[in-house]
């Protein structure tokens, strides 16, 4: 065979990126497209970039209701604005002091170091930014971002995001981490990535060793469905955790994909077994073209309630909704309170046991802590 025809290197992440499915022809080699799926390819250009690695495509089946297929495959309903449809659901452009930095909370910032992903998830919240130029950040964008972080000593945590930071070469990523670590007041670095899900061959010892140099570095993965936890993905997670990189998972509840307590339970337990802590379970943001992928708040609350008590606290993710327009995250906790009065409150627990918790007697409550006197000891 001619060497040029033998371009098959499955375990090589660069091959996975190079061989990604982008056009209708590519997708038709893998899937029997439904009329609704064909429609979006027949437009001049889908509003949101289309792309999937061969690896992730192989996790999907040809069934139109397949959960992984729903994440990667564009659908005609993306043209339906539904009940709420926002270009920038979290109003990040309003908290964007310099290109690539989102500063919404007092002590932590997002640093969008690339707009590229190896799979464009159809529910992406940052469609206004993700997958447009498919470029690395320019030199002045990097420098302005670093300058902003340097000049804001209240920033203790930098969250590398995008796009997907692990689409960068290890060398490039390491250079950025090196620059951030030089800033004294930055304590924690987080990396948000879906590469362990959609291209686990990206994770190798070389990458992990580099990350380890800049500790404490936390990894935030984004598994949505137990079927994404393949042997390759599990090996990638193990490599991070074995090398001392604490790993957390953020999932998004998606209609027809994972909006059932049985699915969330299976995902969370398997992640925990792999030493990955389920962190957030997000309500899907009303990003444009996602109405058909969103769950109702009631549906999400019901799932959270069904998990409560039955799942180890270590495996339990926190249901969270991002207030549209940049209000920040709100945690949704099931309400177990049945009644309250001045002396206490009654609760009914996860298995229906009800009892009252009574507050301590006011005469036994000591003086409030004098924070100024003792603050030197904190
Ligand atoms: C979610 C988010 C964070 C991180 O929030 P945590 O609750 O600490 O995980 C930081 N900045 C922005 C803009 C966010 O949307
Ligand atoms: S990996 Fe994240 S940023 Fe990239 S398309 Fe998916 S949801 Fe959006």
283/224 Cα distance (integer angstroms)? 12
Query: Which residue has a Cα nearest atom 8 of ligand 2?
Result: 124
6/136 Cα distance (integer angstroms)? 30
Nearest ligand to residue 105 Cα: 1
Using one digit for the tens of pLDDT, what is the confidence trace for 241-287? 999 999 999 999 999 999 999 999 999 999 999 999 999 999 999 99
Any atom of ligand 2 within 6 Å of the Cβ of 116: no
User: 372: CA distance to ligand 2 center in Å?
Assistant: 45
36/22 Cα distance (integer angstroms)? 17
Query: Which residue has a Cα nearest atom 5 of ligand 2?
Result: 120
For residues 20 and 138, state if they share a domain: no
| Residue 51 in domain | yes
Strand, coil or helix: 345: strand
For residues 47 and 174, state if they share a domain: no
For residues 40 and 102, state if they share a domain: no
86/125 Cα distance (integer angstroms)? 9
- Start-to-end CA span in the chain (Å): 70
Q: Enumerate the active-site residues.
A: 104-105, 108, 117, 121, 124, 126, 285, 322, 329
Provide the number of structural domains found in the chain. Answer: 2
Using one digit for the tens of pLDDT, what is the confidence trace for 51-87? 999 999 999 999 999 999 999 999 999 999 999 999 9
Ligand 1: which atom is nearest the Cα of residue 90? 15
Q: What is the pTM of this model?
A: 0.95
118/121 Cα distance (integer angstroms)? 9
Residue 159's alpha-carbon distances to 56, 84, 189, 299, 348, in angstroms, are 25, 28, 6, 30, 38
| Residue 158 in domain | yes
Ligand 1: which atom is nearest the Cα of residue 103? 13
| Residue 7 in domain | no
For residues 37 and 184, state if they share a domain: no
CATH number, residue 296: 3.20.20.70
Which pLDDT band, with edges at 50, 70 and 90, does 103 fall under? Answer: very high
Strand, coil or helix: 61: coil
Nearest ligand to residue 320 Cα: 1
| Residue 277 in domain | yes
- The answer to whether residue 301 scores a pLDDT higher than 80 is yes
For residues 194 and 296, state if they share a domain: yes
For residues 53 and 116, state if they share a domain: no
Q: What is the b/e burial string over 318-355, where b = at least 16 CB atoms within 10 angstroms of the residue's CB?
A: ebbbbeeebeeeeebeeeeeeeeeeeeeebeeeeeeee
Using one digit for the tens of pLDDT, what is the confidence trace for 35-56? 999 988 876 666 799 999 999 9
Any atom of ligand 1 within 6 Å of the Cβ of 127: no
Any atom of ligand 2 within 6 Å of the Cβ of 164: yes
237/254 Cα distance (integer angstroms)? 23
For residues 21 and 143, state if they share a domain: no
Domain containing 210: what range?
A: 92-331
For residues 121 and 247, state if they share a domain: yes
For residues 62 and 143, state if they share a domain: no
Any atom of ligand 2 within 6 Å of the Cβ of 92: no
DSSP 88: S
Q: How far is CA 344 from the centre of its chain?
A: 39
Any atom of ligand 1 within 6 Å of the Cβ of 104: yes
237/25 Cα distance (integer angstroms)? 33
């Amino acid at each position: 065979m001619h060497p040029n025809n033998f371009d098959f290197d499955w375990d090589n992440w660069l091959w996975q990126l190079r061989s990604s499915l982008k056009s209708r022809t590519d997708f038709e080699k893998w899937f029997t497209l439904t009329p609704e799926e064909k429609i979006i390819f027949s437009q001049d250009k889908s509003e949101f970039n289309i792309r999937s690695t061969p690896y992730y495509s192989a996790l999907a089946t040809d069934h139109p209701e397949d959960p992984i297929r729903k994440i990667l495959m564009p659908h005609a309903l993306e043209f339906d604005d539904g009940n709420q449809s926002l270009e920038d659901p979290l109003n990040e452009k309003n908290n964007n002091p310099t290109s690539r930095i989102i500063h919404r909370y007092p002590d932590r910032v997002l640093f969008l170091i690339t707009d590229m992903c190896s799979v464009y998830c159809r529910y992406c919240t940052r469609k206004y930014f993700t997958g447009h130029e498919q470029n690395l950040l320019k030199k002045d964008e990097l420098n302005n971002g670093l300058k902003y972080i340097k000049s804001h000593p209240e920033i203790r945590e930098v969250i590398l995001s995008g796009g997907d930071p692990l689409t960068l070469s290890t060398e490039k990523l390491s250079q950025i981490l090196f620059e951030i670590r030089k800033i004294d007041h930055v304590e924690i670095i987080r990396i948000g990535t879906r590469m362990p899900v959609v291209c686990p061959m990206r994770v190798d010892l070389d990458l992990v060793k580099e990350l380890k140099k800049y500790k404490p570095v936390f990894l935030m993965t984004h598994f949505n469905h137990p079927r994404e936890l393949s042997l390759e993905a599990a090996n990638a997670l193990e490599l991070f955790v074995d090398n001392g990189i604490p790993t957390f998972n953020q999932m998004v509840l998606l209609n027809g994909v994972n909006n059932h307590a049985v699915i969330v339970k299976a995902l969370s337990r398997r992640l925990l077994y792999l030493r990955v802590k389920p962190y957030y379970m997000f309500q899907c943001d009303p990003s444009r073209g996602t109405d058909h992928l969103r769950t109702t708040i009631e549906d999400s609350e019901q799932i959270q309630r069904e998990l409560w008590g039955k799942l180890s606290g270590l495996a339990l993710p926190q249901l969270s909704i991002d207030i549209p327009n940049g209000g920040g995250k709100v945690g949704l906790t099931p309400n177990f309170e049945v009644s309250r009065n001045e002396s206490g409150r009654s609760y009914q627990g996860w298995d229906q046991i009800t009892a009252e918790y009574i507050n301590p007697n006011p005469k036994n409550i000591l003086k409030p802590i004098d924070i100024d006197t003792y603050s030197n000891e904190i």
